[in-house]
């Protein structure tokens, strides 16, 4: 059975479940699988279920320009995670991330100058020192949720079984067949891990790994 779009995915889930009373809920199972792929889901080391890493594909990478006002700028729509923030000057200065809980103890917070640090709280980037300089952002953007039967995305191209396993895991949890749910959940997690591994391999393909020092003296 082909798995190239949303309509075919719904059919595949229904075929494997063989339960007509779940037809209307399949869209929910797929939506939950999509949400978990975009954000990940943590499970402790003693649990039978594997942790699902957040899916990070090349096709999810986007670029944006942030223009701070009073040291702050809103994250782009669909923002999931930053890959790199930098001031595009002669030195292309990369900004260093500071966790929110340590942010307000920075001596540069509220002062003027070229931004060197950033944090993010509630969808808002904060920069220190303050500046009107634009900041370039490379980030991972959430793939659009599926709605029409013809909808597709890069997951269908390189690993459509991720959607299938994720949806079946949710379905079997719903009907309290927990052994099957755990089995499909772990297949789901393994598939997402494999897709992330493929992305890392493609990013470094042909490159020679060289050790570097962050702050050479």
- 78 lies in the same domain as 118: yes
Domain boundary among 84, 103, 133: 133
Which sign does the torsion angle of CA 103, 107, 110, 116 carry?
A: negative
Q: Is the pLDDT of residue 215 over 70?
A: no
State what percent of residues in the chain have pLDDT above 70: 88
Asked if residue 102 belongs to a domain, the reply is: yes
Domain boundary among 79, 104, 133: 133
Q: Which of 95, 68, 74, 53 is nearest to 194 (CA)?
A: 53
Q: What is the mean pLDDT of the segment spanning 22-29?
A: 95
pLDDT (0 to 100) of residue 212: 46
Total domains in the fold of the chain: 2
- 81 lies in the same domain as 186: no
Asked if residue 88 belongs to a domain, the reply is: yes
Asked if residue 122 belongs to a domain, the reply is: yes
Determine the structural domain holding residue 157 and report its residue range.
6-56+152-202
Asked if residue 208 belongs to a domain, the reply is: no
Asked if residue 107 belongs to a domain, the reply is: yes
| pLDDT tens readout for residues 122-147 | 999 999 888 788 999 999 999 999 99
pTM over 0.75: yes
Asked if residue 139 belongs to a domain, the reply is: no
Q: How far apart are CA 200 and CA 197, in angstroms?
A: 5
């Amino acid at each position: 059975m082909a798995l190239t779009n949303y309509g075919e995915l719904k059919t595949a889930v229904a075929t494997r479940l063989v339960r007509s009373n779940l037809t209307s809920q399949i869209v929910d199972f797929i939506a939950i699988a999509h949400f978990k792929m975009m954000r990940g889901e943590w499970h402790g080391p003693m649990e039978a279920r594997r942790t699902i890493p957040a899916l990070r594909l090349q096709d999810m990478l986007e670029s944006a320009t942030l223009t701070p006002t009073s040291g702050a700028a809103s994250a782009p729509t669909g923002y999931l995670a930053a890959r790199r923030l930098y001031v595009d000057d002669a030195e292309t200065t990369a900004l260093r991330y500071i966790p929110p809980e340590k942010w307000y103890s920075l001596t540069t917070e509220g002062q003027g100058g070229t931004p060197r640090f950033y944090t993010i709280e509630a969808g808002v980037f904060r920069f220190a020192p303050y500046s009107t300089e634009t900041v370039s952002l490379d980030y991972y953007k959430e793939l659009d949720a599926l709605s029409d039967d013809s909808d597709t995305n890069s997951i269908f191209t390189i690993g459509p079984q991720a959607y299938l396993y994720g949806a079946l895991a949710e379905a079997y949890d719903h009907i309290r067949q927990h052994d099957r749910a755990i089995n499909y959940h772990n297949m789901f997690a393994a598939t997402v891990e494999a897709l992330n591994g493929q992305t890392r391999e493609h990013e470094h393909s042909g490159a020679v790994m060289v050790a570097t020092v962050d702050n050479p003296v």
